[in-house]
């Protein structure tokens, strides 16, 4: 990612605190989000919806092909789309980061149980606590930019 370094740091202060906390929360719950996405997709694909209640005749007002119905429900499910947008942004940012930044994400946000403080993460990465916090801030800032959040 070309935003790594001082450039992203300058913009990090412009990110609203609730947005920062929200993205941080999304990073912590990334794996649960992936599970929820799969659950919603399975629920949409394998449950029967839109039974024809058109008893009086006339044309049906919905798509009759089961495959098209499932595709339409997947494409228009707001919660599923929002979760996929967030998960895709996190994955895009993660894969574009240098190895040390990815290790920070794994230690700080994805290790279960959460055993590392920022001091512990910094120690594992062999950097200062302040440097680890700058990296975290940059990761969150870049994720906000990918999501289009402010």
pTM value is 0.75
pLDDT at 53 over 80: no
Residue 4's φ and ψ, nearest 5 degrees, are -65, 135
DSSP letters, 64-96, are --HHHHHHHHHHH-HHHHHHHHHHHHHHHHHHH
Could you tell me the two tokens for 60? 């049906």
pLDDT exceeding 70 applies to what percent of the chain? 71
Average pLDDT over residues 74-92: 87
On the question of a cis peptide bond just before residue 133, with omega within 30 degrees of 0, the verdict is no
pLDDT band at 12 (very low <50, low <70, confident <90, very high): very low
Domain limits of the chain? 16-45+63-147
The region of weakest confidence among 114-118, 122-126, 134-138 is 114-118
Distance from C-alpha of 142 to C-alpha of 150, rounded to nearest angstrom: 11
């Amino acid at each position: 990612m070309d935003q790594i370094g001082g450039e992203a740091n300058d913009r990090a202060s412009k990110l609203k605190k609730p947005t920062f906390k929200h993205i941080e929360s999304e990073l912590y719950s990334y794996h649960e989000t992936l599970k929820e996405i799969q659950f919603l997709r399975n629920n949409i694909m394998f449950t029967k919806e839109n039974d024809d209640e058109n008893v009086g005749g006339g044309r049906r007002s919905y798509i009759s092909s089961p495959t098209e119905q499932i595709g339409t429900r997947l494409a228009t499910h707001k919660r599923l789309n929002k979760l996929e947008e967030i998960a895709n942004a996190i994955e895009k940012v993660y894969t574009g980061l240098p190895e040390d930044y990815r290790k920070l994400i794994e230690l700080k946000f994805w290790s279960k149980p959460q055993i590392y403080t920022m001091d512990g993460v910094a120690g594992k990465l062999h950097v200062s606590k302040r440097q680890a916090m700058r990296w975290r801030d940059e990761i969150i800032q870049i994720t906000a930019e990918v999501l289009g959040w402010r």
